Amino acid sequence: MKKNFFLFALIPTLIAAIVFLSCRKGEKGDPGIAGTSSTLAYKNGSITGLLEGVTNTNDSVFALNLNYQYYKEASDNFVNLVHSSNGDYYEYSITRYDVTGNSYITFDFLLRYKNPPPPPQFRTTALVPEIYSTNITIVSQKQLSNNKQFYFATVVDAGNPFDVSDVSLYNYLSNDYSGIVYNNLTVDPNTGALSFDYSLQIAPNRNSTGTVARMTGTVNVTPYNVVYRTGSGE
């Protein structure tokens, strides 16, 4: 009986050792997004920006360089053509995370093509893209020294810093309002690649600092052209 017990006890130990050695083989993959071990961290383009403001705890100025390049699923990276009575437009939703998945930026906006502005002598027959109806969501978390963590977010109300929400942006910048201006907007009709530079500000009551926050940067992505279907795929 003692010999049989020894053999039965030895078998699980050998199996565990084999599994351990097997797991050590192979190359290390790219880091995944935190909390989503079953989901790959897809990488496509980037949302970059310099986020500036003042903390609401000790009134210290902060400036963060952000460079988010990862997304989790198709809904983080799509463009969809919408037909309406007022003309066709494109609906974009672009989200990019940092490598940990704890920080992200989402741009939701509409894009249409329109005649270029006057004077008439400089007009061409080619339509130009225009972005409007922009919403942005920002969550930025960064581990600091002494077990402290920096936190910034767009919110419903500054009194509730963890009630994260998107913020609607006017297409101009003015004190006390949340707004945005665009420059160098390009859309490649062949590849779908889109890029633009932006300057934006978020009103005091719509971000976790309780003061005006500002960000300048670039969006450079290639979103999926989503086609809604019925029946089986091609």
DSSP state of 99: T
pLDDT at 85: 85
CA distance 171 to 132: 7
- Give the model confidence (pLDDT) of 54-67 as tens digits: 987 777 899 999 99
- Does position 113 have pLDDT exceeding 80, yes or no? yes
pLDDT at 30: 40
Average the pLDDT over 1-5 and give the result: 46
Average pLDDT of every residue of the chain: 81
- Does position 157 have pLDDT exceeding 60, yes or no? yes
Confidence class of residue 127 from pLDDT cuts 50, 70 and 90?
Answer: confident
Whether the CB-CB separation of 221 and 46 falls below 8 Å is answered with yes
- Does position 1 have pLDDT exceeding 70, yes or no? no
Peptide bond just before 129 cis, omega within 30 deg: no
**What is 3-56 written as a DSSP string?**
HHHHHHHHHHHHHHHHHHHHHT-S-------TT-TTS--EEEEEEEEEEEEE-T
Confidence class of residue 107 from pLDDT cuts 50, 70 and 90?
Answer: very high
Strands (E), the chain: 42-54, 61-71, 77-82, 89-97, 104-114, 128-143, 149-153, 167-169, 179-187, 194-202, 213-221, 224-225
**CB within 8 Å of 23: residues ≥ 6 apart:** none
Between 8-17, 91-100, 129-138, 184-193, the lowest mean confidence (pLDDT) is in 8-17
Confidence class of residue 201 from pLDDT cuts 50, 70 and 90?
Answer: very high
- Does position 5 have pLDDT exceeding 60, yes or no? no
- Give the model confidence (pLDDT) of 167-181 as tens digits: 999 999 987 799 999
**CB within 8 Å of 57: residues ≥ 6 apart:** none
Percentage of residues in the chain with pLDDT exceeding 90?
A: 54
pLDDT at 41: 66
